[in-house]
Amino acid sequence: MKIGGRKGRTVLLTDGKGYTQRTNPNHRTDFTVQDVQGLAKISKRNQLKTCLGDDHKAHKYLKNMSPRDQARVNNVFEGAAGYDRDTVRIAERLAEQLGIPETEPGKFMSLVEVVAAERKSGRRLNFNDPSTFSRFLNDINIDVKKIGNIVARKQLKFVDDYLALYHYRKHGEEFMTHCSLQFYLGELPSKVVNQGKLVDVCEMNMMAQNGVQEVIHQKTYYLPNDEMCVPAMRSINKEFRSQRLHHWM
């Protein structure tokens, strides 16, 4: 442990693997470790197969899933989409029009979440109407372009721009009226990290079936108004890669 900060008001904690975390000694921060072996378990496989129209291993956009992609399946198709076949069909149409590669299942799952959020919004869009579908597709293209410009030079960003779009849109029309994309993605994350209280640091050790070890250090920050941010620093075989937002409220 070392004293950190220009005024000596923080401490630097270093674990046995050399990972260092700055924390406030006056605030309680929990440090936890999770060990994950192999692939995440997919629950309710029959319902998943029904909503996909096929086994996930044969699905155009899911057959190339990584272990981290597979860990999202339950949250996306059960939690967000409720195993709804129409939601997945709409996402498949969007993915085709947007040119989502088959090698990027994460982006497809983010689109499923975007569609699920829209269908829960109460607007009752008729996606079978070509003009309605075209407008929705155009709106996604416009917002994703904005997101790309906003986060281009930001350290904290989502794994993909469609995931960022989902987290923004899931709060509903009223929220989006009062909170711009620029503020939500360009200013708010760093504000929460810099001014928020660090309440948890979780080290997740993941060992894939191919023997590749992935370590994720996931931090949870809170502001007094319950705004939260969960950035994650990822390393593969001890080589640190870029930091990404894992969860955002």
Alpha carbon distance 45, 28 (integer Å): 40
Interval 207-228 mean pLDDT: 71
What is the span of the domain harbouring residue 68?
42-186
- CA–centroid distance for 77 within its chain: 14
99 with 59: CB under 8 angstroms?
no
26 with 16: CB under 8 angstroms?
no
Q: What is the count of structural domains for the chain?
A: 2
Domain boundary among 168, 186, 204: 186
First to last CA, the chain: 32
Q: HEC profile for 94-163?
A: HHHHHCCCCCCHHHHHHHHHHHHHHHCCCCCCCCCCHHHHHHHHHHHHHHHHHHHHHHCCCCCCECCHHH
pLDDT at 29 over 90: no
One domain for residues 182 and 198: no
DSSP-derived letter for residue 80 is I
141-180, pLDDT tens digit by residue? Answer: 999 999 989 888 777 777 789 998 998 888 777 777 788 8
One domain for residues 121 and 176: yes
Per-residue pLDDT at 240: 36
- What is the reported pTM? 0.75
Indicate if the alpha-carbon torsion angle 145, 69, 103, 244 is positive or negative. Answer: positive
Domain boundary among 138, 170, 186: 186
Rounded (5°) CA angle 180-183-185: 100
Query: Count of residues for the chain?
Result: 249
190-199, pLDDT tens digit by residue? Answer: 777 777 777 7
One domain for residues 156 and 105: yes
One domain for residues 100 and 223: no
Percent of the chain with pLDDT over 70: 76
45 with 81: CB under 8 angstroms?
no
One domain for residues 73 and 102: yes
One domain for residues 52 and 68: yes
One domain for residues 143 and 94: yes
One domain for residues 133 and 108: yes
One domain for residues 118 and 162: yes
Domain boundary among 186, 219, 241: 186
Q: Helix, strand or coil for residue 5?
A: coil
Who's near 20: CB < 8 A, 6+ residues apart? 12, 13, 14
One domain for residues 128 and 231: no
One domain for residues 156 and 202: no
One domain for residues 63 and 137: yes
